[in-house]
Structure 1
Amino acid sequence: MARMHNPPHPGQVLREYLGDMTVTRAALQLGVGRVTLQRIVNGVAGISPDMAYRLGAAFGTSPELWAGMQMQYDLYRAARLKRPKIVRFA
């Protein structure tokens, strides 16, 4: 999988998918709490595998689409962290 340059948080993409639908209505249809969904849309929380399946079913997409966006976002952020030099295993 090619890494995207500064990928958006998946919540931003979800906001676009929701269109005019309120977070409250979407949360009800997804069977999750409004606060849970609001945290994702606001970029405070990530998309779990369970949520990826729910979103896939709701939008007719694959759960891999949502999980993949989260993974790209997480890997991009992790690549920016300072870490000690790691010696390769022999």
Structure 2
Amino acid sequence: MKMHNPPHPGEVLKELCIEPLNLTITEVAEALGVSRKTLSAILNCRAGISPEMAIRLGKAFGTTAESWLNQQMQYDLWQAEQAVGNVEVKRLSVA
């Protein structure tokens, strides 16, 4: 089932994983083995969750990589539908 206007996974990461543990961006970036700049871009919704980052997040927070990638896919699909949802496309079929 598609979610209506799903949150960016960076928002989920911040609100459900980082803030409850009272962690700083620096602490989380070091634990994940990424730069503070990389993590900040995700948390501020300027970058998405890559498969590699999904694996890192899964290991760090005891979740699955699939859950992070699914959140990213739902967010990306919603954004794309809003941008091109009314585009005229000719239906094609195999004879």
Whether the TM-score (by the shorter chain) exceeds 0.5 is: yes
The count of aligned residue pairs is: 89
Q: Secondary structure at the match of 1:74?
A: helix
Aligned residue number for residue 60 of structure 1: 62
* Map 1:40-51 → 2, pairs under 5 A: 40-51=42-53
Give the TM-score taking structure 1 as reference length: 0.93
Query: What does the per-residue CA deviation read over 1:34-87, in whole Å, with 9 as the maximum and x for residues that have no partner?
Result: 000000001111000100000000011000110000000000000011364222
Structure 1, unaligned stretches of length 5 or more?
none
Counterpart CA distance in 2 for 1:12 and 1:54 is 17
- TM-score normalised by the chain length of structure 2: 0.89
Task: Tell me how far 1:89 sits from its aligned partner.
Answer: 2.1
| Separation of aligned partners in 2, 1:38 and 1:54 | 15
How big is the alpha-carbon RMSD for the aligned residues of Structure 1 and Structure 2? 1.0
Query: 5+ residue gaps in structure 2?
Result: none
Matched residue SS, 1:24: helix
